[in-house]
């Protein structure tokens, strides 16, 4: 596969939106007296290539790391895209960090750095609700959510959604709807756009982020 940069007439912010269309208080769980804490499960890491029209333009890495001696899990999703336009070089970097305790999201942060500026999103559990704020390229959203968040877009990189019908979209601060299609894929919808998730043996192997200009195809690397 060619690694040369892809030339496409999109602004940095537009590219970031198309790509996505797809530590709160640390009270650690303690072992009971006289018991031996279970060893933490191993860290899971997935590496993906990001392609447009068959050409590789970047990478994506998903990591899930259980915290030793606790019920906490920290997941990250990092995307690094480099595209050469006609007159300048573009670099887009974003990182999602989710801290989950006992299966419930405690804190989600998103940092994005582009040629159009720096952007961020944050969702934090306050004991009886989430404070949610997303300040992204041409997307500003602020809300309070009282229902515990137990499934996110990042989780979709580590296994099939199964019975989940929604996934919290960390970047936007709201939700994708998720449906299991007859062809065995999962389709995630938000605001008129669709992402297609393909799994093999329970592992995400291909993610297609569809848009009218060019689809982004995210493929699992060996």
Contacts of range 162-170, beta carbons closer than 8 Å, 24 or more positions apart: 168/105, 168/108, 168/123, 169/20, 170/96, 170/98, 170/108, 170/110, 170/121, 170/123
Could you report the per-residue pLDDT of 10-21, keeping only the tens digit for each? 455 555 555 554
Burial class (CB in 10 A: 0-12, 13-18, 19+), 130: buried
Average pLDDT score over residue span 181-208? 96
pLDDT in tens, 16-72: 555 554 433 333 334 444 545 556 589 999 999 999 888 999 999 999 999 999 999
Residue-wise pLDDT for 147-157, tens only, equals: 999 999 999 99
Of 184, 210, 211, 188, the C-alpha closest to 198 is 184
Q: Residues 182-186: what's their mean pLDDT?
A: 95
């Amino acid at each position: 596969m060619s690694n040369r940069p892809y030339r496409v007439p999109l602004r940095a912010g537009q590219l970031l939106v198309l790509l996505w269309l797809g530590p709160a208080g640390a009270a650690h769980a303690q072992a009971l007296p006289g018991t031996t804490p279970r060893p933490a499960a191993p860290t899971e890491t997935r590496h993906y290539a990001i392609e447009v029209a068959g050409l590789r333009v970047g990478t994506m890495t998903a990591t899930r790391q259980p915290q030793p001696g606790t019920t906490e899990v920290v997941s990250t999703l990092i995307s690094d895209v480099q595209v050469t336009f006609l007159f300048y070089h573009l670099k887009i970097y974003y990182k999602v960090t989710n801290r989950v305790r006992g299966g419930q999201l405690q804190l989600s942060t998103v940092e994005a750095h582009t040629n159009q500026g720096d952007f961020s999103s944050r969702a934090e559990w306050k004991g009886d609700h989430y404070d949610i704020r997303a300040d992204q390229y041409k997307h500003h959203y602020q809300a309070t959510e009282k229902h515990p968040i137990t499934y996110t877009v990042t989780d979709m990189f580590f296994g099939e959604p199964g019975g989940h019908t929604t996934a919290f979209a960390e970047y936007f601060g709201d939700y994708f709807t998720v449906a299991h299609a007859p062809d065995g894929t999962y389709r995630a919808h938000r605001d008129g756009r669709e992402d297609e998730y393909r799994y093999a043996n329970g592992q995400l192997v291909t993610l297609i982020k569809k848009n009218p200009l060019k689809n982004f195809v995210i493929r699992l690397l060996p």
